[in-house]
Amino acid sequence: MEKKAKIAIKVIAVIVVLLIAYLMLPYIMGVVENPPGSTIIVLPKKINFEFERIVDISAGSFTVNFTIPENNTFQHIVVNDLSNEIKTVHHAYNKTWWSYSSVGSARYILRYNGTTFLKVWNIKNSEDASSIPESLKRQYNHAEFIDVGDGTRKVVIDPAPFRSVTLNITSAKHGVVNKLRAIYDVIVKNFKYKTERNGMPRSAVETWNSGSGDCDELSFVFVSMARSIGIPAWMEYGLLYDGHTWVGHAWVRSVIPHDGSVEEVNIDVTMEVGREDLGRGFLIRDPYRITLWVEDGNSKHLSAYYRYITYTTPPPLDYNEEVKVIYLKESDNVTVPVGETIPSWLMLLIVLLIIMVVIVIIIRW
């Protein structure tokens, strides 16, 4: 009788374990489909801020254009003009800008106040580039130039020279997300971040050959490589809070087809250049950035963004910019896993082994 009671208790215990496993199935499958990373970083869900950009310009006569951030799911921002200068407001080719024309010298004061938000794209698997709309490919998968003056053009984004090397890097990778990650890893592991630059940026080819570059130069390389294998990628320009002040910055926007839709994502290759490659800048948009303009694949518009000041000579242009941080407050910190993750199949095996071990212990008890 005692033996039967013990067997009954074991059976009940096994049933309870299986029932608990069933009730926890959504959580278990979540862990299996999104295994933990080897490292975590802590980021705020949002930041509230206020700062001023103070720009002093001196020249014979000049026109300066300031691109004004527009509100979207990543940012809610108001910019107030504290300058005593007359401006005209323009809206065209995916951006808003304030234009000022002056003679001699002028001071411009723009006060930014708002909130920016964290976004993490948790995409592990995706379809290939054939699932990306042809309209996006036509818009972006080509070379782009910048007008550097005197009618001279520099091709800064150039897919053709990168096609062979990119195919070699990505041929064993399946799906757009894995191909983009392979390109990201190559740039992060093999380039140095160099911030000093005079004048216009170097081209993607020049940057590749030199082995170093700043934010837009390294982004040109990424964009060229992605476009070379049929994946639309383009430049995103804005401001970045570097822990002390707000500085001009550039990063990448691309698209990943998955689960029946095509999602736009951000990639910032400069987050880890010269550091350990954990993917801090891959599919993670931290809240410390403001988007000013997302380029539209038109070289004339790209040139206009870089040539935001036009002036007559003599005298030469004298430009000075200062950023005064009034406040910055972080809210709702969260942990974000980065680095290599445990494969989903291995995570499933671990979960099944744990359940089996518990059942064996109950049976042998």
Q: How far apart are CA 28 and CA 32, in angstroms?
A: 6
pLDDT digits (tens, 9 = 90+) for 202-212: 999 999 999 99
The Cα 325–Cα 244 span in angstroms is: 8
Residue with tokens 């972080």: 330
CB 132, CB 255: distance < 8 Å: yes
**What residue spans in the chain does CATH classification 3.10.620.30 cover?**
39-341
Q: Structure tokens of 19?
A: 């029932």
* Residue with token string 């009671």: 5
Q: How many whole angstroms separate alpha carbon 200 and alpha carbon 323? A: 22
Residue 146: closest CA among 281, 293, 295? 295
Quote the CA–CA distance of 197 and 145 in Å, as a whole number: 18
- Give pLDDT < 50 ranges for the chain: none
- Position 251, amino acid: W
Identify whether the C-beta of residue 85 lies closer than 8 Å to the C-beta of residue 106.
yes
pTM of the model: 0.84
Angle between helices 344-364 and 25-33 (to 10 degrees): 140
What's the CA gap between 13 and 244, in Å, rounded?
A: 58
Structure tokens at 244: 């002390």
**What angle in degrees, to the nearest 10, is found between the helix axes of 215-228 and 163-170?**
80
The correct CATH number of 39-341 out of 3.10.620.30, 3.20.20.140, 3.90.120.10, 3.40.50.720 is 3.10.620.30
d(CA 208, CA 191): 8
Q: Which amino acid is at 236?
A: E
At 39 the pLDDT is 79
